[in-house]
Amino acid sequence: MAQLHVMLEVEDAPSGSLILIRLSRLAEMKRQSGHHKLDAILKRIGALLISQAQ
């Protein structure tokens, strides 16, 4: 977070957006589904966010 704060203070910093998403019960989902399946779900969420940002 400190690095983000420094980047935001720079005059010629590139513009963009930052989204922070908190997924409740992430550890529980990992225990129930396994890390491979959870990784695939997180990648799909990321791909969806990227496609909506374009």
Higher pLDDT, 31 or 20: 31
Read off φ and ψ for residue 34, nearest 5 degrees: 90, 155
Q: pLDDT band for position 5 (50/70/90)? A: confident
Q: Mean pLDDT, to the nearest integer, of 16-40?
A: 90
The model's pTM is 0.61
- State the chain's mean pLDDT as an integer: 85
Nearest to 19 by CA among 54, 41, 50: 50
- Give the integer Cα–Cα distance in Å for 50 and 54: 7
Q: pLDDT band for position 13 (50/70/90)? A: low
Nearest to 54 by CA among 17, 24, 25: 17
